Amino acid sequence: MIALPQPLSYAAYLECARCKREYSLAELQNFATCCHQPLVVKYDYMPGFFKEDLLFREKTMWRYYEMLPVFERKNIVSLGEGMTPLLPLENLAARHGFADLLLKDESFNPTGSFKARGISMAVSKAKELGVERCIVPTAGNAGGALAAYCAKAGIACTVVMPAHTPEIFKQECLLYGAELILVNGLISDCAKKVEELKKSQSYFDVSTLKEPYRLEGKKTMGYEIAEQLDWQLPDVILYPTGGGTGLIGIWKAFQEMLRMGWIKARLPRMIAVQSVNCAPIEVALRDPLHWKDHFTAQPSLANGLAVPYPFGMDMMLEVLQASNGSVVSVSEEDIVAGVKEIASAEGILAAPEGAAVWKALLQLRNRGLIDPADKILLLNTGSGYKYLENLQ
């Protein structure tokens, strides 16, 4: 890794997502205890950081180090994550009449998914703050990523995973040396097990949005989208949404770049995509206060979408409202069909989550809710190779 000039980071403090109370970045934090909401890193936008500075930097997410909350270079734990390609879906676009259709393919990340971004950031900050053991409830990819980055950092790792998760996700955790605990149920049941384990041993819990650092790694997708498109953002972004960190992170990146003058104020519509088996955002949009009382979930072959009670629901709803966005749910049958369609048309074996995004786009087109002349960006969050057991 190249030598980085000082200051390494412009991070200033943590802020409660609801009441804006400030918390220290110098201490290990999880969520805002004042409102039981996520904590968000806030930055001092100092002069002297320009998008032109990126020209000769390394091709990883750490090229944006000023806007990531690690203060000493020696604490960065990296496996080369970030700067994933934007791929034109020319065959699918021609077949369905889209003028400009792109896919950001996160399967190029270490451990095969976008989880590498958030986990790289979280483990780096954990190392900086002296953490010795991390724990995470996971639907699959986050567990493998945490196991890999903890191995790199020399930090002990415990992964709590649904028993029905495909074997490849279990095996990669074990190969990286993590302790693996299997639970009958969904990721929400794994989260309960994590809370139980934390009572008997000291862990740093890196559950989605229950610590403030994974969000910062995920937001680098937003910086990359802008940079790769020469600072001209798409009209619409469709994102597979389980815990919501990526959706929220991309929007956070856009807000930060607006403040720095890197992009102009016309931002994309953000479309959250879920499985019909687990679509809490749809319920929450109808009843933001009592949605949990009217919601039940089932497993999905798109493991990352099976998040029944996301901790960041309020933040996701804010992004959809601010961007004039919406949510679309896709059937399990359509998800499988989407994997096959993308693979046969484009030679890309997308994760089921990414396939859901493609089928959601077709839904919006058929309902007249999207303009095929728009510049449209889809996110594929992981490698379909890891899901072959689910797709059989």
Query: Does residue 130 belong to any structural domain of this protein?
Result: yes
pLDDT of residue 7: 62
Q: Are residues 99 and 121 in the same domain?
A: no
Query: Does residue 1 belong to any structural domain of this protein?
Result: no
Q: Are residues 258 and 360 in the same domain?
A: yes
CATH of the domain at 148: 3.40.50.1100
The phi-psi region of residue 181 (left if phi > 0; otherwise alpha if psi is between -120 and 50; otherwise beta) is: beta
Query: Does residue 81 belong to any structural domain of this protein?
Result: no
Q: How many domains does the chain have?
A: 3
pLDDT of residue 102: 98
Sequential pLDDT tens for the chain (392 residues): 444 445 689 999 999 999 999 999 999 999 999 999 999 999 998 777 899 999 999 999 999 999 999 999 999 999 999 999 999 999 999 999 999 999 999 999 999 999 999 999 999 999 999 999 999 999 999 999 999 999 999 999 999 999 999 999 999 999 999 999 999 999 999 999 999 999 999 999 999 999 999 999 999 999 999 999 999 999 999 999 999 999 999 999 999 999 999 999 899 999 999 999 999 999 999 999 999 998 889 999 999 999 999 999 999 999 999 999 999 999 999 999 999 999 999 999 999 999 999 999 999 999 999 999 999 999 999 999 999 988 87
pLDDT of residue 352: 97
* Cross-strand bridge partners of residue 158: 135, 179
> Is the preceding peptide bond at 212 cis, omega within 30 degrees of 0?
no
Query: Does residue 2 belong to any structural domain of this protein?
Result: no
pLDDT of residue 145: 98
pLDDT of residue 391: 84
d(CA 108, CA 93): 22
pLDDT of residue 390: 81
How does strand 100-105 pair with strand 86-88? Answer: antiparallel
Q: Are residues 278 and 326 in the same domain?
A: yes
Q: What is the domain extent for residue 133? A: 115-205
Q: Which of 163, 167, 166 is nearest to 182 (CA)?
A: 163
Query: Does residue 231 belong to any structural domain of this protein?
Result: yes
* Cross-strand bridge partners of residue 273: 240, 328
pLDDT of residue 265: 85
The single-letter code of the amino acid at 58 is: E
Q: Which of 375, 267, 285, 392 is nearest to 329 (CA)?
A: 285
Global confidence as pTM: 0.96
d(CA 302, CA 270): 20
